[in-house]
Chains A and B, each alone.
Chain A
Amino acid sequence: MTTAPAIPPAAPAGDVLCEERGVWQQFPQPNGRPLRVLEDINLAIHADEVVALLGPSGCGKSTILRILAGLIRPTRGEVFYHGQPLRGLNPGVAIVFQSFALFPWMNVAENVGMVLKAARLPRDEIKHRAEQVIGMVGLAGFEQAYPRELSGGMKQRVGIARALAVDPEILLLDEPFSQVDALTAESLRAEVIDIWAANDRNPSSILMVSHDIKEVAYMADRILILSANPGRVRTVLANAQPRPRDYRSPEFLRLVDQLHELITGHEMPDVDEAAQRVAATLEPLPHVSTSEIIGLLEYLDARGGREDIFRIASDTNSEFGRLISIVEAAEMLDFVDTPKRMVVLDVRGTEFVKVGPEDRKAIWRAQLLQLHIFRLVSDALKRQPNHKLDRDFVLETIVMHMPHENYERVFHTLVGWARFGNLFAYDDDSGMITLPLGS
Chain B
Amino acid sequence: MIHMNQRTWGHARALLSRSRRVGWVDLLIVAGVAGLVFGVAGLAREWTGELRPSIQIDLDDVWTLPRYTLLSLSRGLFAYALSLVFTLVYGYWAAKDHAAEKLLVPLLDILQSIPVLSFLPGVVLALVAVFPRSNVGLELAAILMIFTGQAWNMTFSFYHSVRSVPTDQSEVAAVYRLNWWQRLKWLELPFSTMGLVWNSMMSMAGGWFFLMITESFQLGAKDFRLPGIGSYMTVAVEQGRADAMLWAVLAMVLMIVALDQLLWRPVVVWAQKFRVEEGGNEPAMTSWFLDVLDASRLLSAIRRWAVRFQTRRAAVRVRRPARPALAVPPGWLAAGSRAAFLVLLAALAFGAWKLFGLLHGVAAAEWLATLGMAVWTLGRVLLATALGTLWAVPAGLAIGLSPRRARVLQPLVQIAASFPAPMLFPLVIALFTAAAIPLGLGSVLLMLLGTQWYILFNVVAGAMAIPADLREAARSYAVVGWQRLWALYLPAVFPYLVTGWVTAAGGAWNASIVAEFVTFRGQVLTTPGLGAQISAASNRLDFPLLAASTLVMSAVVVLFNRTVWRRCYALAERRFSLNK
Chain A residues in the interface with B (C-beta under 8 A): 66, 69, 71, 89, 93-95, 97, 99, 101, 103-106, 114-115, 117-124, 147-148, 162, 166, 428-429
Contacts and interface: CB of A to CB of B under 8 A. Distances in A.
B291 interface: no
Interface string B166-196: 1011011011111100100011001000000
B169 A118 contact: no
Given A104-B276, A117-B182, A118-B182, A123 B169 contact: no
Given A105-B190, A106-B186, A118-B179, A147 B278 contact: yes
Contact of B279 (A105, A106, A117, A148): A148
Determine chain B's interface SS by DSSP, over half rule: helix
A101 B172 contact: yes
- Top 8 A-B pairs ranked by shortest CB distance? A101-B168, A115-B176, A148-B278, A105-B190, A118-B178, A124-B318, A122-B322, A105-B274
B500 to A, nearest CB: 23
Interface string B315-352: 00110111011000000000000000000000000000
Contacts of B166: 101
B220 to A, nearest CB: 53
A122 B178 CA distance: 16
Given A117-B182, A118-B179, A120-B322, A104 B174 contact: no
Nearest to B574: A428
A95 B324 CA distance: 25
A166 B174 CA distance: 13
A120 B274 contact: no
A69 B175 contact: yes
Contacts of B322: 120-123
Contact of B171 (A95, A103, A114, A119): A95
Contacts of B177: 89, 118-119
A428 to B, nearest CB: 8
A114 B177 CA distance: 10
A118 B176 contact: yes
A97 B187 contact: no
Nearest to B174: A71
Output the residue of B174, B275, B317 with the most chain A CB within 10 A. B174
A148 to B, nearest CB: 4
A58 to B, nearest CB: 17
A89 B173 CA distance: 11
A281 to B, nearest CB: 33
A97 B278 contact: no
Contacts of A105: 190, 273-274
A122 B172 CA distance: 21
B317 A97 contact: no
A193 to B, nearest CB: 22
Contact of A89 (B172, B174, B279): B174
16 contacts: A66-B171, A71-B175, A94-B176, A101-B166, A101-B171, A103-B186, A103-B190, A104-B276, A105-B190, A106-B186, A117-B182, A118-B176, A118-B179, A118-B182, A119-B176, A119-B177
A118 B173 CA distance: 9
A11 to B, nearest CB: 27
A331 B178 CA distance: 49
Nearest to B571: A429
Nearest to B193: A105
B126 interface: no
A162 B176 CA distance: 9
A104 B176 contact: no
A180 to B, nearest CB: 15
A81 B254 CA distance: 65
B473 interface: no
A117 B169 CA distance: 17
A54 to B, nearest CB: 22
B175 A95 contact: yes
B169 A103 contact: yes
A104 B174 CA distance: 17
B314 interface: yes
Contacts of B169: 101, 103
Interface in B266-323: 273-276, 278-279, 314, 317-318, 320-322
B466 to A, nearest CB: 23
Contact of A104 (B182, B275, B320, B324): B275
B178 A123 contact: no
A97 B171 contact: yes
A315 to B, nearest CB: 30
Contacts of A104: 274-276, 278
A105 B321 CA distance: 28
B186 A114 contact: yes
A70 to B, nearest CB: 8
Output the residue of B175, B178, B279, B320 with the most chain A CB within 10 A. B175
Contacts of A428: 574
A93 B174 CA distance: 12
B175 A93 contact: yes
Nearest to A148: B278
B187 A103 contact: yes
Contacts of B176: 94, 114-115, 118-119, 162, 166
A250 to B, nearest CB: 40
A95 B279 CA distance: 25
Contacts of A66: 171
Contacts of A106: 186
Nearest to B176: A115
Interface in B144-186: 166, 168-169, 171-172, 174-179, 182, 186
Contacts of A148: 278-279
A94 B325 contact: no
Contacts of A71: 171, 174-175
Output the residue of B176, B190, B314, B322 with the most chain A CB within 10 A. B176
